[in-house]
Amino acid sequence: MNEPLPLTPLQQAIVSTLQVLLIFAANLGLFTAITYVERRLLAFMQFRLGPNRTGPFGLLQPVADGIKLFFKEELMPESATRWLFFLAPALSVASAFLALAVVPYGAPVVLPRWGLLPAWLQGRSFPLQIADLDVGLLYIFAITALGVYGIVMAGWASNNKYTLLGGLRSSAQMFSYELALGLSWVGVIMLAGSFRIQDIVASQQGFSWGLPNWNVFRQFPAFVIYLIAATAECARIPFDLPEGEAELVAGFHTEYSSMKFAMFQMGEYINLITVSALASNLFFGGWLSPIAFVPASFFWFLFKVLAFLFFFIWLRGTLPRFRYDQLMQFGWKLLVPAAAIWILATAGFLAFGPAARVAVLD
Amino acid sequence: MDAAGVALFYAFGALALVSALAMVLQRNPTYSAFALVLVMCSLSVIFGLLGSPFIAALQIIVYAGAVMVLFLFVLMLLNVQREVPARAAGGRLRLVAAALVTALVAEVGSVFWRAGLGPAAAGYEASTAKMAALLFSYRYLYAFEATSVLILAALVGAVVLARRSAQ
Amino acid sequence: MTGAPIVQHALLLSLLLFAIGALGVFLRRNIITVFMCIELMLNAVNLSFVAFSRQLGSLDGQVLVFFVMTVAAAEAAVGLAIIIALHRNKDTLDVDAFRSLKW
């Protein structure tokens, strides 16, 4: 089989554009579906029906929501700082979408040799990932750290003491749980030996003792910590006090209306999708199949992501919310030490355990 | 480095310079803080272009994502207003500052300009594994562990200093 | 590598950023802004470390950047705590207000 020629810059640009369009479109589609599914599922859990009037079974509800948000009046407080006020939701949404760039959605797809495809594309493997960074997980951590700024800016730019407090609380919650989030990944990174997400998925291949080699079995405490920290990162119930509807008005996005509010919501849901995709890549083997001899495919990945999204919606329908001081205490006094101890345990196991791989210090 | 990399370097270098000037010239400290965040993000891109993806990511995580958020928190909690330029910096101070800084730029600038640096070393690979190997090697292991103790000391010190003394 | 002297220009950028930071330390009245200018100077030094690391092909420069970053973060935390304590005392952040140790 002859090696395909390396791509010229123009061809590389076309392939990258295709990847970006594909992943962007898929995530936006999932986002609109999620807004509808969440409302329906929450309704069923609360023993009511949810939106079922717009279109068959209420399926056109996201369209109706979009039209409503589009036509709502754009309000801006008079004493607010204009450019910061406009920048904050843009930053929130931008950081949510930037994190999508390094998440792989499946193994590279080998394009078939159709006559319809241009000659240089046929037979080439098309990665389902926009950028395969060597420091993929670090990049995601960095982008999550930048997401805090959208909230701080929104809280401050509205020139309103409630939004300022809400913004500060929300961002304090976010970066507290970000720490636990990052620490929960360290065990996974140690097992895979690399920050690259493709490597981490590859390290979960194979089966041992009848179970697949997934990190959820090998690193279960880290998985639990990750799930809790991710719920807090996305400000989902039970950690949604900063935007709690009953307290602090609507938190940092009180003064936002119409499209800017929609952008905040979009940022939040895209964050949720990214976090679910990461959970399935880091802990559940990504696109690998749990049953032996069944080939890995994108559909396993999709199934896992949808399962996680269902889990987050389920959490929302079930649990009451944390009080703010309980939230901070839980994050700093329980989660971070637990994650650190687990890292110590994993490192000890790797250094002295059965599969000891000790590097010789030179 | 290919043409796109070079173009990006100059673009983000210019952005860093403009943001730094904005930071120093702004009257309101909160806007200065946002300008500094912009400087750090552009520097992170430049680090990436200079072949250090690990340091680029760390720059965002540590500096832009933690230190600057800390600055913004303190600024917002202390409700810092626009800096009143009342007496501002006296004329003599401005003169001295300008003279000293010009001398610095002239001296160091002439060294850098005529440095005659050859082409950059080839085969430069700054992978995270190599960084980790170097950090845990005999040369830097002690400094690494000492830094962690330093951070712990700073953590405790910051909490104690910022606490209200009447407790 | 193509002819563009990226490393040299990175060093010049680092010098300019350092100079801007130094000017800020001299000329600004608000303590927190002075502190931020110090952070800018530290960043400029980081840039020159990374540039030299690229030039010499050695990772030691990057390890030093790692340490500078960590120490700067620790310093920022303690410095801001001190500033909070000072503000609580004098209710101002003007540099000239804290002159009780001056002779």
In this prediction, residue B123 has a pLDDT band, given cuts at 50, 70 and 90, of low
Name the more confident of B160 and A116: B160
Within 8 A of B9 by CB-CB distance, chain C residues are 6, 9-10
* Whole-structure pTM value: 0.90
CB A141 within 8 A of CB B57: yes
Å from A135 to nearest chain B CA?
Answer: 7
Distances A23 to A30, A41, A47, A268, A280 between C-alpha atoms, Å: 10, 26, 35, 17, 17
The per-residue pLDDT string of chain A (362 residues; one tens digit each, 9 = 90 and over) reads: 455 667 777 888 888 898 899 999 999 999 999 999 999 999 999 999 888 888 888 888 888 888 888 888 777 777 777 888 888 889 999 999 999 889 998 888 887 777 777 777 777 788 888 888 888 899 999 999 998 888 888 888 877 777 788 888 888 888 899 999 999 999 999 988 889 999 999 888 888 877 888 888 889 999 999 999 999 988 888 887 766 655 556 667 677 777 888 888 899 999 999 999 999 999 998 888 888 778 888 889 999 999 999 999 999 989 988 888 888 999 999 999 999 999 999 999 888 887 665 555 44
Number of domains in chain A: 1
Binned at pLDDT 50, 70 and 90, residue C11 comes out as: very high
User: Which residue type is seen at B2?
Assistant: D
Nearest to B69 among A171, A194, A195 (CB): A171
Token pair recorded at residue A98: 């930037």
- Look up the domain containing A204 and give its range: 74-352
Residues paired with residue A208 on neighbouring β-strands, in sequence order: A211
What percent of chain B stands above pLDDT 70? 90
- Interface size B-C, in CB pairs within 8 Å, comes to 235
Measured between CA atoms, how close is C99 to chain B, in angstroms? 16
Domain membership of residue A207 (yes or no) is: yes
Average of per-residue pLDDT across B126-139:
84
Collect all residues of chain B within an 8 Å Cβ-Cβ radius of residue A156: 30, 76
Length of chain B: 167
Asked if the Cβ–Cβ distance from B83 to C33 is below 8 Å, we say yes
Average pLDDT over residues C65-87: 94
Q: How many residues would you count in chain C? A: 103
Per-residue tokens: B134 = 């170097």
> Residue C1: what pLDDT?
44
Give the distance from CA A181 to its chain's centroid.
Answer: 12
d(CA B131, CA B128): 5
ipTM of the complex: 0.91
- Note which residues in 11-70 of chain B have CB less than 8 A from chain C: 13, 16-17, 20-21, 23-24, 29, 32-33, 36, 39-40, 43, 46-47, 49-52, 54-55, 58-59, 62-63, 66-67, 70
C30 to chain B, closest Cα gap in Å: 7
- Residue A274 is assigned to a structural domain of this protein: yes
What integer pLDDT is reported at residue B122 of this predicted model?
A: 66
Q: Which tokens is C85 given? A: 């304590």
A-B contacts (CB, under 8 Å): 67
Q: Please indicate, yes or no, if residue A69 is contained in any of the structural domains.
A: no
Mean pLDDT of C84-99: 86
If one compares B160 and A126, the residue with the highest pLDDT of the two is B160
- DSSP letters, B93-139, are HHHHHHHHHHHHHHHHHHHHHT----SPPSS----HHHHHHHHTSTT
Q: Coil, strand, or helix at residue A264?
A: helix
Q: Which domains does chain C have, with CATH numbers?
A: 6-94 (1.10.287.3510)
Interface test with B, best of A148, A158, A252 (most B CBs within 10 A): A148
Domain assignment present for residue A11? The answer is no
pLDDT, average across residues B31-39: 94
Among the partner-chain residues C8, C50, C80, the one whose CB lies closest to the CB of B70 is C80
C82: contact with B, CB 8 A cutoff: yes
Q: Would you say residue A51 lies in a domain?
A: no
Quote the pLDDT of residue B89: 56
Cross-chain residue pair B131–C16, CB shorter than 8 Å: no
**Distance between CA A183 and CA A337 in Å, rounded?**
10
**pLDDT tier for residue B77 given thresholds of 50, 70 and 90:** confident
Residue C89 forms contact with B (CB below 8 Å):
no
Q: Does residue A35 form part of some domain? A: no
Q: For residue A56, tell me if it sits in a domain.
A: no
Query: Would you state the pLDDT for residue A1?
Result: 45
Gap between the Cα atoms of A287 and A303, Å rounded: 9
- Does some domain include residue A34? no
* Residue showing tokens 């056109």: A60
Predicted confidence at residue A248, as pLDDT, reads 56
Could you tell me which chains touch chain A, where touching means 3 or more CB pairs under 8 A? Answer: B
Pair A275, A268: CB distance under 8 Å: no
Three-state SS string across A59-92, please? CCHHHHHHHHHHHCCCCCCCCCCHHHHHHHHHHH
Contact B62 C73 (CB under 8 A): yes
Chain B partners (3+ C-beta pairs within 8 A): A, C
Cβ–Cβ below 8 Å for B69 and A156: no
Give me the pLDDT at residue A362, please. Answer: 44
Q: Which residues of A touch B (CB under 8 A)?
A: 84, 133-135, 138-139, 141-143, 145-146, 148-149, 152-153, 156, 164, 168, 171-172, 175, 193-195, 359, 361-362
Residues 6+ apart with CB under 8 A from A289: A212, A295, A296, A297, A300
Please report where in the chains the tokens 């207003």 appear, as a residue: B81
